[in-house]
Copies of this chain bind each other. A is one copy, B any other.
C-alpha cells in the first residue's frame, strides 16, 4: 500500500497546526505518517521544508498533505510556490474573511506560545500547575480557599489527571481530595472542604473499571478487589448525593470531556475571558 505523509508546518511550535490537523484527520479512516516541522521562520528553512515535502512525495508515491499555520508571508509564499503536496493553509483560510468582518488588519504575530512566557496569563498558568501539584491527593489544606475547583472521589477515579489538565489547559487552580473510609464513617465530606462547597465537584467510576485500574497498580490487593471497589464507590456516591454536590462518572470519559463538563457546571470566576 502506498504510504501517505502529513506535514505540520509552523513558524511557531506547530501545536495549533497539529491539534487542528489531527481533528480533521480523525474524520478519515487512514493511517498517515506525521511529520512536524516547527519553527520554520526563515525563507531558508521554508526552502528546506519544500525539498523535504517534495522528496517525501516521490518516495511515498503519494501527494503529502501539508497543514500550515504560517504568519510570515515570505515563508508562506515559498511553500505555496514550491510545494507539490496538498496545501491546507489554515490561517489564510480564516484570517482574510475575519479582517473584513472586524475591519482590522491581522498583525502576523508568530505563534500563540512565543512571548507567552512574559504574559500574566502564562504566569498564572504556571502558578496553577504548581498549585494543583501541591494540592494533589489532599496533600495540603494550605491556601485551599484559592482553589477554583476542588475534585473529590475515591482513589483512582481520575482526579489527578483531571486537576492537572484543568491547570495546564485553563490555568485553573484545581485541588483534589480522596474520599477515604474515615469520611464514609463520618458520613461527611473531609472537614477542610466544607467551607468551599460551591467549588466541589465529584468524580465517580464503575466499580468494575476501578478494580481493573487498581489491579494494574496493586495486583490482587484488597484495595483492588471488586468487592472493596463496589463498597467504596457506593459509599462515595451516597455521600455525593447526600451533600448535594455535582458529580459525574468518568468510566467512559477522557480527561478533556471531564474537564469540559466541570467547567460547564462550576463556572469558575477566574475563567472570565
Contact = CB atoms under 8 A, between A and B. Distances in A.
Interface in A89-106: 90-91, 93-95, 97-99, 101-102, 104, 106
A254 B113 contact: yes
Contacts of A118: 252
A88 B97 contact: yes
A234 B104 CA distance: 47
A256 B104 contact: no
Interface stretch (A11-19, A141-149, A220-228): A11-19
Contacts of A252: 115, 117-118
Contacts of A19: 16, 19-20
Interface stretch (A24-32, A48-56, A240-248): A24-32
A267 to B, nearest CB: 11
A58 interface: no
Interface string A116-131: 1110001000100110
A85 to B, nearest CB: 10
A116 B251 CA distance: 11
B101 A27 contact: no
Cβ-closest 4 pairs across A and B? A113-B256, A27-B106, A116-B254, A16-B23
